[in-house]
Structure 1
Amino acid sequence: MFTRLMLAPLASLLCCQLVVAQERLPEFRVPGKETLTQPLEGMFQRHHSAKTNCSLWDAWLPMSTLWPAIGNDPSASECRDFYRRVYLAREIDASGYVTMNQHRGHAHPGGWPFPLWEQAGGAGWHFTVQHDPYREMMQMRTMDAKAVEFVGAEAIEQSDRYGLQLTTTGETTSLTLPVRPFDSFVAPFVVIEWSSDKLPADAAVQLQWRHQEDKQFSAAQSIDVVKDSGVGGQYGAGLKLSVVPMFTHEKWNGRIEQLRLTWTNQQPQRMTIRNIHTATDTRHPITNALYVRGCCEYFGWTRDVNFLRKNIERMRTAVAYSLREFRVREEGAMLVTWPGHDGRAGFTRDANGHKQTRHGRGVGNNYWDLLPFGHYDCYASIIEFDMLRAMAKLEQAIATHPAWEVGAPKLTSEELNQIAADLKANAGQRFWDAEKGRFVACIDADGVAHDFGFTFLNLEAIYYDFATPEQAKQILSWVEGARVVEGDTSTGADIYHWRFAPRATTKRNIDWYCWVWNNPESIAWGGQVQDGGAVLGFSYHDLMARLKVLGPDNAAARLSEITRWYAEVEAEGGYRAYYAKPGRGSLQGGGTPGGLGLDHEFFESVLVPQVMLYGFLGFQPTSEGYAIDPQLPADWPSLEVTRIAAADHVIDVKASRETLEIGFQKVGTQPLKLQLPPGPWKLTGGEATLEGQTLSIDPERSPRQIRVERE
């Protein structure tokens, strides 16, 4: 998931909370299958309630944490309150881009914290390095303010606490930074962290540059600076960030020699500047879709109409940005044209095999941050497709509930569904390799498709209904090992070498990475998560894909293998103790690199137990309430999931082949509607109303136990 160089800062600074103390959690009850359910409950206990401000996990953690009612007084309020605050406050810049909201970095502050400007060969002027997460790793040195040429400034001071401070004088203040040459390609942005909010609202701020051949700065090589770009709240220094899109200026080219920052004044003002540095474009094209998906999950589980009123226009802005920025309707796919995101690797090899590093190229686009997804991006297209359908369902619910008093959208539910359908039809063909029977990662700017047997990509394509039924069958025949793809490194049973999940990739990759990961051959196959390794959490997509295509017996057999592995791991003292033994693989996380992602920053491990709720029980939030459509394996007489926080109720749901039972641990105030599976049903117990397949429960009738049976 993360580069070797970045593991230590990330492990210490990632804004996530993990609960490790024993809690009373939902139980999974299957008579006679305790050897499966008990390890699965243990896994849930280990990973439950993970929550983070970072957009990257918005599609995985909310769905896993908003429904479990935990504790002696069962409630999901802690995680719900957390995500309500997060989603109402998530930074969206003026263009509509939803920020990543990771920790302080040396890259675009609205994107992933790295690659750093130091790794790109850019330039930085840090007037303090105090509390910088990369201070030791990059051996950072404070920039001496005496080397800066000041005009219109006095009382100039520098300290570790604040950085550079000065008092403005006259009509204009300027800082001409010391000469530090760099290639403009590796510096699409310049970031200024400063107290720009102290400047007058109409103050003009400009950043100028010159090339070596330029004798002086000129107005022709100047760009306006937005005083506050609306990103970087996670930096925590109390300053504003100006993120200057240098790449948009036609004269930002070649090798840059020097920069000058200038602004106008009205009266003397004390100013603080912490740093100025170039930045790689580390934005991810999927943050908008993930944010919208997370917001939809929150509303689906809570039915919090007040949240919807406050946040719906922000969600609509996020949708509009992604459709516009990535030309989804025009291209029938997500087309990423950001600097460094063209799908090409960060290094090439000549005829003799010698490498040439291409700094600034191959920037990550998603969770798999070493891999240069981009240009025509399959993974981003899949995530966008899912978001469009989720938003369409929400807009449909809004349209049918005028009492919610939520304004009408610019894109209706029907229009969103049509865009999604067109995206699936076009991108589903564009990225499908018919010969190999699987989706490729992307098609780069040279028209080259990249495929290393990405199991995660293909299983998510099935999970999100992006794959057609025929494509899904071909994908699973390959992942299961029944079908061999010529040229793959891992085939057959070896695809599940790690037992708990399929390998992330099935073909050795030593050529297609970001420029910072330019010696992949030094790590053995399977020794890196993104090259033959595996991530526990994404077994969820494997299980759900199997359930959808191969049926519940197949999915249950795979789940049994996972829980058998987990029981063995626990018997030997947990993940770290188990994998400390040679030959079992190497764990990544907590500051160490490796091939297996299970704990520490791999919060998505909480996904695996969700297959009991969303998969085998088939319990899902809908626009009207909740739906239940159980898929029980042949040897499961029934399945009960307890402590489900549905809206403001806490319920237990038990399903057999002929009956459904809903028991209330807590009765809330909101009416509850459950959509039952197809077929005739009759109410045989409890206070409720059954019309067709819709079971309506009025909380004022004090429901305690509801039972329906197939007729």
Structure 2
Amino acid sequence: MWVLWSMTLVAALAVAGASASEQIPDDFPRFQVPGREKPLDTLRRLFWLHYPGAGPKATLWDEWLSLASLWPAVDTGGYADSFRQQWKQVLSARVIDAEGYVATHQHASIAHPLGWPFPFWNQGRRTAGWHFSFKDTVGPGWRTDKLSTPDDWQVLHAESAGVTEEGWKVILTGANSSVTAPPCDVDPYESPFLQLRWKGKGIEDAQPYIEWTTREQPEFSPERRFYFSPHAGDTIHYEAIPMYRHPLWKGDITRLRIGFGNPKPGGEVVIQAFFTQYDTRHNINAQNFVRGCAMYFWWTRDLNFLRQNLNRMRLALRYLMTEHHTLQEKVVDTRWVGHEGRSGVRYTPDGKKQIVHGSGVGNNYWDLLPFGAKDVYATVHYYDALRKMAEIEQEVIRNPGWNMPRGVYAFDPHELLKHAEEVKAAGNRLFWNPQTRRFAPVDADGVMHDYGFTFLNLEAVAYDFATPEHARDILAWVCGERVVEGDTAQGKDIYFWRFAPRASTRRNIDYYFWAWISPEGIAFGDQVQDGGAVLGFSYYDLMARLKVRGADDAWNRLQEILRWYEEVERAGGYRKYYDGSRPGTLQGGGTAGGLGLDMEFFESVLVPQVMLYGFLGFQPTGDGFAIDPRLPSGWESLRIDRIRWQGLTLAITVTPTAIRIEKEGDSDEAPLVRLPAGSWRATGKTANGEQRQVNLRMVGQNLRRLEWRGLREVVLARR
């Protein structure tokens, strides 16, 4: 992520760091394998370091952090209950606009109020902006430093009442009042939106609008008019006006007018700011919101939450299908202005650099990289969201007593799964580079931009998006067995940073959003998104290895990460380890660097999750759970305790032939469980040690009803 960060986030990080330095509570989960105590104790310490900061953040973390913070049954300090309450509140409060777009919820900025905090207007070339007050506005570095005055504005049927603490106050003395900005030079491509920060009184029946002139059409006209809603109230409202949707928003814009559309005199408005705005929305928010909601529900079985949010999840997914044309194109096709997937930093044939302002706006976590257009990263996450939404819909149908809304928003789960397979097939054709044998972004011109993005490819494998053949090719490349000609990092150098593969393996000086103007001035590996590395995404490396190469390969990779982390601990932590005495510069809290480990890299908490979701193979569902263990050859068993599944606390031990579940608490409903293929029998034990046979009956395809009421322990054994 980019080097700038908000003060509120830095403050939150300070709190998380203070928590992480405390002694590990006794009720924090343990990973137990006979003979592997030392490395797994190290893994537990790594987990605890990042766990206190793993609550909800911006929308793009909804899936990643919910995976890690919802299951540990840490009652000490109230962590478990607090995290669950936080996730419920935050997910339920995620803003979804009238069209179905899920807001990004990153820190304050002067970019799109529902988007990423940059780029913003004063980073542009042909943009314009007037700020009459900085009250409650993001601080220096994220906005212009100069306040405007209304001296050069033209006022019609209104009177200027001066600039107050909140902004420019205008009294509407007549009907159809308006204010006209000074002359400007605005390129519509750099200004797909206008943002008006304002409030008003007595304008409830007004129909405000924007008008503009161009060099070719120097007079204002109703033909070039774009309406928006009035805002009456006591607080400043941020109105993002989508000018790009008007067919005459083109040419060279020379004047801008705000018409208040008031039918009678008597109202008043306060204008805090008025400026052009890039489209900084993300096309991965819906996917992350849907999966975060699913994960929360599966771990908690909070029926009230699902009832409140189910149609919001459906709306978010339908927005992707329509706005990003997925039903027609079978991939995410983003056509927003500036999101065409083309770089904003380009070179002519003679080597001259060109900066194309407005081009290459980011779409996801990797915010310097364009992606966009036929967006492979968004498509991989869309595929996974489809499958998770299908599971939710199946559970709703299977449990009519939950009383969940159906109606026009509901999906047919079989159609979702069918569509997911279409997306997988189309994506493996469109985004696969047959020369390098890996996935890469494709821009609106059909040009592929292949810089060896390991994060993209490993997530594609882990989410089962890659075909088996493609998955094997990807792992052979990442593991250094297959050399891609022209890559900067090859073979063992892909894991130069040890804790994770480099984020990219080919030097990138020409595939960025336009404001990252001097990538050539930063060495390969000294920037996270160009040869650097992020610890958290080793989780997908581990899960991909587990899927393709097996448990031994994944365990060997995890051990290397843990050996590195033990060195970090001996040095006194990440910052002391990377103090200049060895290669590597840390990014975080406002400082640029090549390695993402702490500070805003909350996803570092993902790495230990391979124990639960990978080796143990545990997956919660709304009405049960699945267990599909995958143990390395040297492990006789694996036990994970303090698993807070819905209202119970579980400790699960798996061996090659049996699954033992100890539980604290009880429920009068029997869960549906999915087990590996084969014949299984179940026995149980009550709290006083009485042995019982347990009914484990098939109720559907690979679904068994586990009648464990009144039992403290259940053993599932292969027949």
TM range (shorter): over 0.9
- Give 1:449-598 correspondences, 5 Å limit: 449-598=448-597
**1:269 is aligned to 2:267:** yes
Task: Give the structure 1 partner of residue 691 of structure 2.
Answer: none
> What is the CA-CA distance between 1:671 and the residue it aligns to?
4.0
Secondary structure in 2 matching 1:59: helix
Q: Does the CA-based 8 Å contact 2:203-2:268 persist in structure 1?
A: no
**1:691 is aligned to 2:697:** yes
Distance 1:654 1:569 in 2: 30
Q: Does the CA-based 8 Å contact 1:15-1:103 persist in structure 2?
A: no
Q: Does the CA-based 8 Å contact 1:333-1:423 persist in structure 2?
A: yes
Deviation digits for residues 508-533 of structure 1 (CA, Å, limit 9, x no counterpart): 01111110112101000100000000
Aligned-partner residue type, residue 437 of structure 1: R
> What is the CA-CA distance between 1:57 and the residue it aligns to?
0.7
> What is the CA-CA distance between 1:545 and the residue it aligns to?
0.3
- Give 1:276-675 correspondences, 5 Å limit: 276-408=274-406, 409-440=409-440, 442-667=441-666, 671-675=670-674
Distance 1:77 1:68 in 2: 10
Task: Give the structure 1 partner of residue 716 of structure 2.
Answer: 708
Distance 2:483 2:14 in 1: 40
Compared CA separation, residues 136 and 465, structure 1 to 2 (3 A): closer
Distance 2:290 2:24 in 1: 30
Q: Does the CA-based 8 Å contact 1:552-1:631 persist in structure 2?
A: yes
> What is the CA-CA distance between 1:140 and the residue it aligns to?
1.1
Compared CA separation, residues 237 and 625, structure 1 to 2 (3 A): farther
Distance 2:311 2:15 in 1: 29
Distance 1:203 1:649 in 2: 55
Distance 1:300 1:599 in 2: 28
> What is the CA-CA distance between 1:460 and the residue it aligns to?
0.4
Q: Does the CA-based 8 Å contact 2:209-2:226 persist in structure 1?
A: yes
> What is the CA-CA distance between 1:494 and the residue it aligns to?
0.6
Compared CA separation, residues 239 and 130, structure 1 to 2 (3 A): closer
Distance 1:69 1:394 in 2: 24
Distance 2:661 2:438 in 1: 41
**1:172 is aligned to 2:176:** yes
Q: Does the CA-based 8 Å contact 1:129-1:135 persist in structure 2?
A: no
Q: Does the CA-based 8 Å contact 2:332-2:379 persist in structure 1?
A: yes
Compared CA separation, residues 138 and 94, structure 1 to 2 (3 A): closer
Task: Give the structure 2 partner of residue 233 of structure 1.
Answer: none
Distance 2:660 2:87 in 1: 30
Task: Give the structure 2 partner of residue 47 of structure 1.
Answer: 50
> What is the CA-CA distance between 1:303 and the residue it aligns to?
1.1
**1:245 is aligned to 2:250:** no
- Give 1:143-222 correspondences, 5 Å limit: 143-154=148-159, 156-160=161-165, 162-195=166-199, 198=201, 200-212=203-215, 214-222=217-225
Distance 1:44 1:590 in 2: 21
Secondary structure in 2 matching 1:271: strand
Aligned alpha-carbon RMSD (Å): 2.2
**In terms of mean alpha carbon deviation, does 497-506 or 650-659 score higher?**
650-659
Distance 2:138 2:216 in 1: 37
> What is the CA-CA distance between 1:267 and the residue it aligns to?
5.6
Q: Does the CA-based 8 Å contact 2:537-2:607 persist in structure 1?
A: yes
**In terms of mean alpha carbon deviation, does 56-65 or 661-670 score higher?**
661-670
Distance 2:429 2:279 in 1: 29
Aligned-partner residue type, residue 690 of structure 1: L
Q: Does the CA-based 8 Å contact 2:13-2:600 persist in structure 1?
A: no
**1:119 is aligned to 2:123:** yes
- Give 1:29-178 correspondences, 5 Å limit: 29-49=32-52, 50-72=54-76, 76-121=80-125, 122-136=127-141, 138=143, 140-154=145-159, 156-160=161-165, 162-178=166-182
> What is the CA-CA distance between 1:150 and the residue it aligns to?
2.2
Q: Does the CA-based 8 Å contact 1:8-1:592 persist in structure 2?
A: no
Distance 2:550 2:35 in 1: 20
> What is the CA-CA distance between 1:78 and the residue it aligns to?
1.2
Q: Does the CA-based 8 Å contact 1:180-1:258 persist in structure 2?
A: yes
> What is the CA-CA distance between 1:220 and the residue it aligns to?
1.5
Aligned-partner residue type, residue 545 of structure 2: R
Aligned-partner residue type, residue 127 of structure 1: F
> What is the CA-CA distance between 1:164 and the residue it aligns to?
2.1
> What is the CA-CA distance between 1:39 and the residue it aligns to?
1.2
Aligned-partner residue type, residue 56 of structure 1: L
**In terms of mean alpha carbon deviation, does 169-178 or 614-623 score higher?**
169-178
Distance 2:12 2:355 in 1: 29
Deviation digits for residues 123-182 of structure 1 (CA, Å, limit 9, x no counterpart): 11111123433425655111113332223334613233x122333322222121122322
Compared CA separation, residues 237 and 577, structure 1 to 2 (3 A): farther
Secondary structure in 2 matching 1:48: helix
Aligned-partner residue type, residue 580 of structure 1: D
Task: Give the structure 2 partner of residue 232 of structure 1.
Answer: none
Aligned-partner residue type, residue 176 of structure 1: T
- Normalised to the residue count of structure 1, the TM-score between the two structures is 0.94
> What is the CA-CA distance between 1:23 and the residue it aligns to?
4.7
Secondary structure in 2 matching 1:51: coil
Secondary structure in 1 matching 2:634: coil
Compared CA separation, residues 614 and 179, structure 1 to 2 (3 A): same
Aligned-partner residue type, residue 311 of structure 1: N
**In terms of mean alpha carbon deviation, does 323-332 or 524-533 score higher?**
323-332
Distance 2:280 2:443 in 1: 17
Compared CA separation, residues 523 and 73, structure 1 to 2 (3 A): closer
Distance 1:67 1:206 in 2: 50
Compared CA separation, residues 182 and 75, structure 1 to 2 (3 A): closer
Distance 2:76 2:134 in 1: 46
Compared CA separation, residues 564 and 342, structure 1 to 2 (3 A): same
Aligned-pair identity in percent equals 44
Structure 1 gap ranges (5+): 230-235
Aligned-partner residue type, residue 132 of structure 2: F
Q: Does the CA-based 8 Å contact 2:13-2:599 persist in structure 1?
A: no
Secondary structure in 1 matching 2:63: coil
Secondary structure in 1 matching 2:661: strand
> What is the CA-CA distance between 1:696 and the residue it aligns to?
4.8
Aligned-partner residue type, residue 175 of structure 1: V
Deviation digits for residues 546-604 of structure 1 (CA, Å, limit 9, x no counterpart): 00110000000000000111111011100000001333200000111000000000000
Distance 2:12 2:24 in 1: 24
Secondary structure in 2 matching 1:147: coil
Aligned-partner residue type, residue 143 of structure 1: S
**In terms of mean alpha carbon deviation, does 604-613 or 57-66 score higher?**
57-66
Compared CA separation, residues 379 and 415, structure 1 to 2 (3 A): same
Distance 2:627 2:235 in 1: 48
Compared CA separation, residues 117 and 15, structure 1 to 2 (3 A): farther
Aligned-partner residue type, residue 675 of structure 1: R
Distance 1:170 1:13 in 2: 48
Task: Give the structure 2 partner of residue 676 of structure 1.
Answer: 675
Distance 1:192 1:141 in 2: 17
Deviation digits for residues 182-237 of structure 1 (CA, Å, limit 9, x no counterpart): 212100000111125x45444211101112454432112111123469xxxxxx99
Secondary structure in 1 matching 2:391: helix
